[in-house]
Homo-oligomer: A and B are copies of this chain.
């Protein structure tokens, strides 16, 4: 059955062809590109276009698009991979998006989409097979970063990317796909079953209005891509939707204002376990965590797994609920301003980051640990991890992992005994369901900082 098609069928073997696909600057040249750290931090700008993004995977072999020193600022453009659900609103007139989504009968702006084979020999969906779907800007090589270090990413701002189409000046749009990988898909009550539905939302591009509204929705119908492949379901990212084939329903969700919570759905460093990794399942290296708290004012800490760390970000969201139930958020292009700070392994002892082996979020008021069905599915599930993870999704597993991580954090960061940590967790820590749609499902534990006084 189509709905049980595995998202990814890769073994943990190298996909050498990626090297050819990447730009000419390879990690071997990293030291030269770093040079000495300047006295004043540099503010970089990394745009999103067909050259600076990679689509659907993390890879050690993808050449860095930027070299930064600890303390540098980066204005980081990110694009939603759902922009072609309504290209008129989310692609047209935006040169960066147009370059990424370009797709004619002869060529694509970005060919590989996913960690699958470039020749689409498994399902024939397209290069990369859509085993991984997120447009990721980067990676960013952090000079001096080495395995064992921790990379801090402070999110100073996240702004909606205005529509490039003059007809929609001052507006930003996003797409919510209730898709075949959604939690609801095999559990529908209305006919026809199953079905995939795209809902287009509108956001105020100035950021002044703190809510989104639905504009219209439509049911997915088979789409033929420019290469002639028919996509019966949403099985390959960036397929242009021919709006002459679909029926727009409106008004919908009348009077509904969705509070916006802009965040990066996906941000992380490159894992060490495989050369090319599907962007969908999150794990110790971060990635597609899909926690709406990873927004402005939030600071992420990632354990560095490869030289340079190689940070990428994308999958920008205007709003998402805990669980991301239907499979996606309001998928909306955003531009972030982030500060990157490298914490060398030798400096971590006695700090909350000591021995950190998972992605940790700090906000003004909270610490948030991230648990997953498998803490490191790439190692835990062996050579077939990237396909097997989709059959082993479990909130129960993620809760177990989140419990262990919160206990460890309380004992490390605040010096509690296990008995103190367990009691405090029971009376004061909230565990929530991050997502149930990314293969490696997530549970987060939220600890309020105000609990700890200087007393």
What residue in chain B is nearest A320 (Cβ atoms)?
Answer: B427
A255 B322 Cβ-Cβ under 8 A: no
Q: Does A451 contact B (CB under 8 A)?
A: yes
Give per-residue flags for A202-220: 1 if the beta carbon is below 8 A from chain B beta carbons, else 0: 0000000000101001000
A321 B428 Cβ-Cβ under 8 A: yes
Shortest CB-to-CB span from A274 to chain B, Å, is 27
A432 B432 Cβ-Cβ under 8 A: yes
Which residues on B sit within 8 Å (CB–CB) of A400? 187
Q: Does A359 contact B (CB under 8 A)?
A: no
Copies in the complex: 2
A328 B426 Cβ-Cβ under 8 A: yes
A422 B325 Cβ-Cβ under 8 A: yes
Q: Does A178 contact B (CB under 8 A)?
A: yes
Which residues on B sit within 8 Å (CB–CB) of A187? 400, 403-404
Q: A452-B256, A453-B255, A453-B257 are in contact. Are A423 and B322 (CB under 8 A)?
A: no
Which residues on B sit within 8 Å (CB–CB) of A252? 417, 419-420
Which residues on B sit within 8 Å (CB–CB) of A258? 424, 427-428, 451
Q: Compute how far the CA of A18 lies from the CA of B187 in the bound complex, rounded to whole angstroms.
A: 42
Q: Does A2 contact B (CB under 8 A)?
A: no
A418 B256 Cβ-Cβ under 8 A: no
Shortest CB-to-CB span from A351 to chain B, Å, is 18
Q: Say which size band chain A's interface belongs to.
A: 35 or more
A423 B214 Cβ-Cβ under 8 A: yes
Which of B396, B422, B450 contacts A395, CB < 8 Å? B396
B190 A325 Cβ-Cβ under 8 A: no
What residue in chain B is nearest A430 (Cβ atoms)?
Answer: B322
Q: Compute how far the CA of A214 lies from the CA of B426 in the bound complex, rounded to whole angstroms.
A: 13
A256 B424 Cβ-Cβ under 8 A: yes
Q: A433-B399, A452-B255 are in contact. Are A189 and B418 (CB under 8 A)?
A: yes
Q: Does A188 contact B (CB under 8 A)?
A: yes
Shortest CB-to-CB span from A197 to chain B, Å, is 5
Q: Does A330 contact B (CB under 8 A)?
A: yes
Q: Does A76 contact B (CB under 8 A)?
A: no
A184 B433 Cβ-Cβ under 8 A: no
Which residues on B sit within 8 Å (CB–CB) of A399? 183, 323, 395, 433, 436
Q: Does A443 contact B (CB under 8 A)?
A: yes
Give per-residue flags for A191-205: 1 if the beta carbon is below 8 A from chain B beta carbons, else 0: 000000101010000
Which residues on B sit within 8 Å (CB–CB) of A328? 426
Which of B321, B417, B431, B451 contacts A425, CB < 8 Å? B321
Q: Compute how far the CA of A254 lies from the CA of B416 in the bound complex, rounded to whole angstroms.
A: 9
Q: A321-B426, A423-B214, A428-B258 are in contact. Are A443 and B433 (CB under 8 A)?
A: yes
B420 A323 Cβ-Cβ under 8 A: no
Which of B184, B394, B419 contacts A396, CB < 8 Å? B394
Q: Does A429 contact B (CB under 8 A)?
A: yes
Which A residues contact B (CB, under 8 angstroms)?
Answer: 176, 178, 182-184, 187-190, 197, 199, 201, 212, 214, 217, 252-259, 319-330, 394-396, 399-400, 403-404, 407, 416-420, 422-433, 436, 443, 448, 450-455
Which 7 A-B pairs give the minimum distances between C-beta atoms? A326-B426, A322-B430, A255-B455, A432-B432, A190-B418, A323-B431, A321-B429
Q: Give 10 CB contacts A-B under 8 Å.
A: A178-B426, A201-B427, A255-B452, A257-B451, A258-B424, A320-B426, A323-B425, A327-B426, A330-B427, A399-B433
